[in-house]
A and B are shown apart, each in its own frame.
Chain A
Amino acid sequence: MNEYSLLIILLLISTLWFYFGNKTALSLKKKQLKLNSLPHYYGIYVALYSFIPALFSYLLILVFDGILFSNLIIEFVPKEILNSPDFNKIIVLAQIDNAVRGIYFGEQPDWVTIASNQMIEWNYHSLILNFFCSISLALGIGYLGFKNINEEFRSRNSVEKIIISLLGLSSIIAILTTIGIVFSVIFESLRFFAIIPASEFLFGLIWNPQFEGAERAGSGQEGLATYGSVPLFVGTFLISLIALCVSVPIGLFSAVYLSEYANKKERSIFKPLLEILAGIPTVVYGFFAALTVAPLMRNGGSLIGLDVASESALAAGFVMGIMIIPFISSLSDDVINAVPQSLRDAGYGLGSTKNEVITNVIIPAALPGIIASIILAVSRAIGETMIVVMAAGLAANLSFNPLDAVTTVTAQIVTILVGDQEFESAKTLSAFALALTLIVITLILNFYALHVVKKYREQYE
């Protein structure tokens, strides 16, 4: 007897209800009564009616008994441990939990044994309670549903309603998760802004996060931490811009080629090949950028007398551009294909050449979709991390020169959070402030994209 067998019992009960519902409906039908819905809808209705409330109570008890018990069990921890300076609730709870599972590390203190026995007992009671509640709900509410069955009952519509609410619930869960993430980022950011003023963060020109009291690498002095995020956003902007300069023309042109010039066979070869680019993991792009492209650019640059940093915005942006080509080409290809043939006919009928039809008719008509695909690519570029960490460097230089090493917001978040962290420090919290700003920027971009698309759509439809 455990939680899983209870779940199986609940499923069995609802299957039984399905059977009874179905059977009753069939027998009504046998009596020449005209049923409102197909018989199996009655079965499904009763089954769902019994299973869903039972499942809720099951999950509720399962989640909340753990929370309740871990708070109650603290009573069993001796005072001297509770008051000692290295008391850590998580470790104590883990100790008890291990004992409950029968895992022991060395000698067990008495209080752990007592607490774990108490815990086992509580768990047992809770399981019994869960069995009782869930099964009686499954039977009771199932019975109520079963009682509803008569020839006039519209089981099809009721099943529809139940399914709609399940679907709605799923989307609410997705939305709540997003909201949860955003709020946790906001709260941590507020803690950061309590230490560092927002104006310094938003307008400061030097990014040099330090742990409190840490010495500056190699300098032997205590460094001064500064959290001016401007260089990071400039770096992000610069690299994204380079990526767009690479990907927009190539992506758009290949989309035009694929949809307007390529024949079926060429299309069936080129399109999947392009889409493979989207499937390559970004780490691979990252070391391609760092180990192949960056040295190439450095050597090429020195040949023509340019001083290219060995980690440069140009290398990272270029490779990122290649990475987002398929986003632009694939989506643009779809929207170009969706331009109605009648518009092409109109163009050709007036004596346009193919090229004129593409530039004067098809691209303008597909523009909202193309813009949307570009903005999607921009969000992708802004959020991209791996390539930047590997190829652009971590030096927070404030520079608009593509040949310099720069860093981006995401790359900094990574370096801040990799390795040991002091959770309360401004350095760690700054990652949240950076993330928040990034989220806001991406949101603004997306709203703007929607706005642009809507405006064009009104004009074109």
Chain B
Amino acid sequence: MVINSNINNVKTKTIGEIFSKDPKIICRHVDVFYGDKQAIKDVSIDISSREIISFIGPSGCGKSTFLRCLNRMNDTIDTCKVKGTILLDKDDIYDEKIDVVPLRAKIGMVFQKPNPFPKSIYENVAYGPRIHGLSSSKEELDFIVENSLKDSGLWQEVKDRLNSPGTGLSGGQQQRLCIARAIAVSPEIILMDEPCSALDPIATAKIEELINQLGKNYSIVIVTHSMQQAARISQRTAYFHLGELIEVGETKKIFTRPKDKQTEAYISGRIG
């Protein structure tokens, strides 16, 4: 609840525009430790409403770690400690009074490897609405499931076999099922950790199209290894290196006129 009056008065080494006029999430001086090892160092950044922002950077630079701070998924790792401030709509999500259950319903997540539950397609999508009590009748639940599957572009392909196992779908379909499962609880933000890295180019193209669609209604934070992907789908891009946020800015600018040498080196393929 603490709204720091000088929240936009931050000292940071990050180059570029970390602030947003319409911030959904505000991160200030975030440090993350795995035991004694520091994985994220003093990261400050805003994430706007209805924007698609991509996190890029070499492997092991902490993109996933930072992403997982935003919905407190790091809580599930015993050794992981998060310091600093992360505000969602001006509420500190690491406040003791915050319950992670509604928080994670507000911030959906899609993982690197498609991970549908070993249940039917219908049950996969209905899982979230069920545990959060979002529907009072079977009809309502059917409606949510159908809409989520439509929004994730899967409805036409699966409407005749909603009761067959979700694990029987192709990789790309599974990932879209996971997206449908995430949007079924009406989140405001969707975090995606390399959602296409296990998929073939055609499935990837479908997911990218879907992400572009979803960007109209949700804030989307996507970690990606593919610079082209970041360029194709995101409005803003953040470059991480060794746990630090080096540069943030409009995707176009980052890819055409990076201000930082490291960013330039990575984008031109010299750091992998």
A residues near B (Cβ < 8 Å) are 263, 340, 342-353, 356, 360-361, 364-365, 459-461
Contacts and interface: CB of A to CB of B under 8 A. Distances in A.
Interface residues of B, number: 29
A365 B115 CA distance: 12
B73 A364 contact: no
A351 B105 contact: yes
A360 B127 contact: yes
Contacts of A346: 111, 115-117, 178, 181
B73 A348 contact: yes
21 contacts: A343-B115, A343-B117, A346-B115, A346-B117, A347-B117, A348-B73, A348-B76, A348-B104, A349-B73, A350-B182, A351-B100, A351-B103, A351-B104, A352-B131, A356-B131, A360-B117, A360-B131, A364-B117, A364-B119, A459-B165, A461-B167
B253 interface: no
Interface in B117-144: 117-119, 127-128, 131-132
Nearest to B72: A348
Nearest to A344: B76
Interface string B82-126: 000000000000000000111111001101010111110000000
Interface in B41-75: 71, 73
A302 B257 CA distance: 89
A377 to B, nearest CB: 24
A352 B102 CA distance: 9
B233 interface: no
B178 A351 contact: no
Contacts of A351: 100-105, 128, 131-132, 185
A365 B132 CA distance: 21
A349 B182 contact: yes
Nearest to A346: B115
Contacts, number: 71
A110 to B, nearest CB: 81
Nearest to B124: A346
Contacts of B78: 263
A461 B168 CA distance: 7
B118 A349 contact: no
Closest 6 CB pairs of A and B: A460-B118, A351-B104, A349-B109, A342-B115, A351-B105, A350-B128
Contact of B115 (A340, A360, A364, A459): A340
Contacts of A353: 101
A267 to B, nearest CB: 13
Query: Which of A352, A356, A364, A365 is the most central at the interface, judged by chain B CB atoms within 10 Å of its CB?
Result: A352
A346 B113 CA distance: 10
Contacts of A460: 118, 165, 167
Nearest to A356: B131
Query: Which of A349, A365, A459, A460 is the most central at the interface, judged by chain B CB atoms within 10 Å of its CB?
Result: A349
A350 B111 contact: no
Given A351-B185, A356-B131, A460-B165, A361 B100 contact: no
Nearest to A263: B78
Query: Which of B105, B108, B117 is the most central at the interface, judged by chain A CB atoms within 10 Å of its CB?
Result: B117
A355 to B, nearest CB: 10
Given A349-B182, A351-B105, A361 B113 contact: no
B117 A365 contact: yes
A342 B194 CA distance: 14
B37 to A, nearest CB: 19
Given A345-B111, A353-B101, 12 more contacts: A342-B111, A346-B115, A346-B117, A347-B117, A348-B104, A349-B104, A349-B182, A350-B131, A351-B131, A360-B117, A460-B165, A461-B167
Contacts of A345: 73, 76, 109, 111, 115
Contacts of B117: 343, 346-347, 360-361, 364-365
A248 B73 CA distance: 32
Contact of A349 (B108, B113, B165, B167): B108
Contacts of B132: 351
A349 B131 contact: no
Contacts of A344: 76
A456 B20 CA distance: 50
B127 A350 contact: yes
